Amino acid sequence: MAKQKAKTPLEKLHNWHHTKHGYLLFGVAELLIAYGFVSWAIDNGQLWTYFIGVVFFAGGIQNIYRMTKRMLAEG
């Protein structure tokens, strides 16, 4: 039998991220980061902070959607 290659910590994180708990944690974290950037954007009025907030918001919604889809598929 061939010896399996040891996984790096980054590969382990990537594999864990694609679980329902990983999607939930990353989704909530991205939504909190988005909230921080949009709050900062309201204070300073710079357009690039709004853009970063929208990007993190979209990523958070995408992760929450994937988690919900995985939970519904498992039954």
| Tokens 């909530």 belong to residue | 28
Cβ atoms of 34 and 57 within 8 Å: the answer is: yes
pLDDT digits (tens), the chain, 75 positions: 566 777 899 999 889 889 999 999 999 999 999 999 999 999 999 999 999 999 999 999 999 999 999 999 987
Whole-number pLDDT of residue 30? 97
Tokens matching residue 69 = 């889809």
CB 62 within 8 A of CB 22: no
pLDDT at 50: 95
| Distance, C-alpha 50 to centroid of its chain | 18
| Contact indicator for 16, 22 with CB cutoff of 8 Å | yes
Going from the C-alpha of 12 to that of each of 5, 21, 25, 27, 56, the distances in angstroms are 13, 14, 15, 18, 23
